[in-house]
Structure 1
Amino acid sequence: MPPQLTPLVQTIQGIRLANTASNKPEPTWNITISPQGTISSITPNTTSSPPLSTPLALPSLVHPHIHLDKAYIHNTPSYSHLLPRTGSFNEALTSTTQAKASFTPADLLKRGEWLLAESVSSGVTAMRAFVEVDATVQHACLNAGLTLKEKWKEACEIQLVVFAQDPIFSTESGQENRRLVGDALREYGPDRLSVLGTTPYVESSVEAARRNIEWAVDMALETDRHLDFHLDYNLSPPDEDPEPLIWYVLRMLREKCWTTHSTTKRVMLGHCTRLSLFREEDWSRLTQEIQDYDIPASFVGLPTSDLYMASIPTPTQGGGGRLGVKSNPRGTLPIPDMIRKYGLDAVMGVNNVGNAFTPWGSIDPLSIACLGVGIYQAGTLDDAELLYECISTRARTAIGLSSSLSASASDPGVRPNCGESADLLLLYDIDDTGCLEDGGASRPRKSMAEVVWDPPARMSRAVVSRGRVKMPALSACSNDAFRFVAT
């Protein structure tokens, strides 16, 4: 069940903000929250007795790409016969299809609440969540998603994606899958189903994949939805795959006049591991096409899934081995370079947890930022700030939920801003070892970089959702900082 939230907070006193030099005396600040749950002011703290514990206040975390209905299949005994045997992508597709045939409303709600509970406890207050619609599950996953969206709305804003994981122009179920997706979009308005998502690469031919893309662009425009593609999920060398589907997507968006001036809806391009093999001229072309035509496109790298799945397939040699044995080279989108070098809009996300597509990793977005330090050799202070933005402020903007009146997608920053929704993550120095005398605090994390390099435990995090505090966090952390509206 959703966490209990406090009454609306009036002020948060004596907090620290990011980017304060750790070798100098640190000023503290007070955040005032309006009756509407937005930040109305951020002023220096002048009280003579600041709170006993001084938390670091950051914008809350965001899942820009998470699968709600497929989470924690591996943690459910009834699916134990579907645990990975080869770890291949085709096996993941097959075993997940088999699992979907056994989904029940109670099972979907239970696993969905596991995901939501751990996400919110980590500091997530907004997410783009995929729910599959096809001939196997019909609208079962969608109905569970709608139930969870309503039930958890006070703690987390859930932006639902009606998602066609299966082909919609191939196989004998393609037409039925397409009809079911269309029915869902027509039955529920954009306020309940905000996004249309498809997977062009699962189609049986390039022509079918292109039909998938064109249909999705037309349908999203017709029904006033954001659009989200799982795209180019391979590492095929250019001589084998000379035309990644990204170029056809951009062509369709141009031809359909999907620009920043014609609509407020955005297009997200997920995985896109094939782009990690791009040459300089390819990146230049990509940047030029997006910027010259004002296409509101964002990219989301999903490294835990990408590093697990996106390998270069090699054929069986001789009589030994198995077809499609995995080789060492791996690929995921080069997020920092895409932002800094090419000026593209790019973020990072979790994607899957506890299933055949991604049997490893945490639901905590901070673990993704931490992983990015190693993947991209991004170890500077500026790198840490950028990686945090990619799971927070940038991610929120990329999915069309930006609440900032002062920050921009190109420079969202890691400090709370006046006018934003009061969605905050407060990080305390809490001893989770049980080894320190007199209840001493654990090793402190005083800077943004320390939080990204070595994320603190959940018990050190207090989560503020639209001006209200998640109660379990309030009991675990010091509540000295909070002053509530009188009731």
Structure 2
Amino acid sequence: MSPPRLTSHINFIRGVRLAGEPHTWDIQITYPADSTQGKVTSVTPHEPSTKDDFECPLALPALTHPHIHLDKAFIHSTPEYAPFLPTTGTFQEALSSTTKAKQQFSHSDIIRRGEWLLAESVTSGVTAMRAFVEVDHTVQLICLEAAVDLKNLWRDSCDIQIVCFAQDPIFSSEYGEQNMEFLETALRKYSQVDVIGTTPYVESSPEAAKQNIEWAIDRALGLKKHVDFHLDYNLDSNKDALVWHVLHTLKQRSWTTHSTDKRVMLGHCTRLTLFTENEWARLATEIHENKLPLSFVGLPTSDIYMASPPRTSGDCKSPQDRPRGTLQVLEMIRKYSLDAVIGVNNVGNSFTPWGLPDPLSLACLGVGIYQAGSQADAELLYECVSTRARAAIGLSSSHSDLCVKQGCQPDLLLVHDRDDTGCGLSRPRTNVAEVVWTPPGKLNRDVVSGGRLKFSPFAGADSDSLYQI
């Protein structure tokens, strides 16, 4: 097991560009004696130099995974799981093949694949993540035990928020009772669990799904943990959306921004894309008027791969008419003032066999999915995988903009314009929009976690003058 090496604490980062600001700046970081966390204590103009400003790195808030499955990552990259590669690509096949693959999970296997995920994520600029690990009759506590080990081992590089996750039913099916017993055992045994997560739509009936929701909310409130639902993952207008029962239960239990600092997250929610204007207005009104600390996370790489409307034998639609659905995250933020972000979800398994654990590549994909081509769109997409994502999972009290300021946590991504072509050429990314539109390779990303720089084989000769340690 090999988390990345980090430097000692950085005191100054000198001569960097900031989002939306002209010229270059010096960032000072201090470390109070009574705290393990550093803070940005000043941002001051950098002394003029002969260097072109656009040759200086662009300092941005670090990236965050608000929703990613740690235990199922890169199953397809592991030879022993070759029999479970997808053949039809359907959701039911993904459920079935992953259940079979889980029967072979071991602690060492999860550690290995989990470190692949962490290494690629941290090198991309991720310094915080909400990581789902399954607990049920098949894997029992193996995934959770591995996640706790990874959380401890990688704590200096990445804040790993563990979700004790019920992918399988807990109020129906022949194994529901066993699954519940393992969940309760996990919650008693592991204080490192930060979040309770369930999947209400896998239950056998709407009544069981509602029981699932009520149990998770009650247990999370009682244990002072966040709750995170995989919810309404369909495009079937004949199915009632469960989001209304979530809101009803939160109101009934008085889970508000005033009663607790714990948050509620709803993932996927593709059924909501079929809502009318009145339904969206009602949803936003209920959340705002009742001060519900609720966020939505769209998961585009999984949603556009898996979420499609049901087809029947008498369906007269064109064979190439294949609607897909994923939450319109930018519109939810701007039009309804809802809290919404985007996440990677799965990588390298049957639920999502494509894509990278790089939030910037996801933000880039969002430009096309949401038809969001303006600079302001790109900046909002960056927030959705950075400051907004961090706030949505409860790691900061509110989201900040992208300009590093006094009081910020020193988790940063510095974007360089080093030559990664071998042609003696480099193209600077002059603003946030260019970082989103054409994400830089890892060679051009320096990652600062908690005020400490991740050692990189790509670091240039300018590092000594850039970072004062």
Name the TM-score, length of structure 2 as normaliser. 0.95
Distance across 2 between alignment mates of 1:280 and 1:201? 24
Q: Shift of the alpha carbon at 1:338?
A: 0.3
CA 1:96/1:327 → structure 2, altered by over 3 Å: closer, same or farther? farther
1:277 and 2:266 are equivalent in the alignment:
no
One-letter amino acid of the counterpart of residue 424, structure 1: L
Q: What corresponds to 1:104 in structure 2?
A: 106
Q: What corresponds to 2:451 in structure 1?
A: 467
Deviations 1:113-154 (A, max 9, x none): 000000000000000000100000000000000000000000
Distance across 2 between alignment mates of 1:284 and 1:317? 34
Contact kept, 8 Å, 2:15 with 2:466, in 1: the verdict is no
Distance across 1 between alignment mates of 2:135 and 2:439? 35
Q: Shift of the alpha carbon at 1:482?
A: 3.3
Q: What corresponds to 2:365 in structure 1?
A: 371
Match of 1:294 among 270, 291, 295: 291
Contact kept, 8 Å, 1:59 with 1:424, in 2: the verdict is yes
Q: What corresponds to 2:70 in structure 1?
A: 68
| SS of equivalent residue, structure 2 residue 121 | helix
Contact kept, 8 Å, 1:57 with 1:425, in 2: the verdict is yes
Q: What corresponds to 1:418 in structure 2?
A: 406
1:228 and 2:224 are equivalent in the alignment:
no
Distance across 2 between alignment mates of 1:327 and 1:69? 35
| SS of equivalent residue, structure 1 residue 433 | coil
Distance across 1 between alignment mates of 2:42 and 2:64? 23
One-letter amino acid of the counterpart of residue 418, structure 1: Q
1:456 and 2:444 are equivalent in the alignment:
no
Distance across 2 between alignment mates of 1:7 and 1:212? 46
Q: Shift of the alpha carbon at 1:78?
A: 0.5
| SS of equivalent residue, structure 2 residue 60 | strand
Q: What corresponds to 2:43 in structure 1?
A: 42
Q: Shift of the alpha carbon at 1:195?
A: 0.3
* Unmatched segments (≥5 aa) in structure 2: 32-36
1:16 and 2:17 are equivalent in the alignment:
yes
Q: What corresponds to 1:266 in structure 2?
A: 263
| SS of equivalent residue, structure 1 residue 304 | helix
* Unmatched segments (≥5 aa) in structure 1: 21-25, 319-324
Distance across 1 between alignment mates of 2:449 and 2:205? 45
| SS of equivalent residue, structure 1 residue 472 | coil
1:392 and 2:398 are equivalent in the alignment:
no
Contact kept, 8 Å, 2:443 with 2:458, in 1: the verdict is no
Q: Shift of the alpha carbon at 1:49?
A: 6.0
Distance across 2 between alignment mates of 1:4 and 1:72? 23
1:429 and 2:417 are equivalent in the alignment:
yes
Contact kept, 8 Å, 1:127 with 1:156, in 2: the verdict is yes
Q: Shift of the alpha carbon at 1:316?
A: 3.6
CA 1:298/1:477 → structure 2, altered by over 3 Å: closer, same or farther? farther
Distance across 1 between alignment mates of 2:57 and 2:241? 46
| SS of equivalent residue, structure 1 residue 250 | helix
CA 1:276/1:423 → structure 2, altered by over 3 Å: closer, same or farther? same
Q: What corresponds to 2:156 in structure 1?
A: 154
Distance across 2 between alignment mates of 1:176 and 1:295? 32
Contact kept, 8 Å, 2:415 with 2:445, in 1: the verdict is yes
Q: Shift of the alpha carbon at 1:475?
A: 2.5
Determine what percentage of the aligned residue pairs are the same residue. Answer: 59
1:203 and 2:187 are equivalent in the alignment:
no
Deviations 1:3-50 (A, max 9, x none): 100011010000001124xxxxx4100000012421111111125466
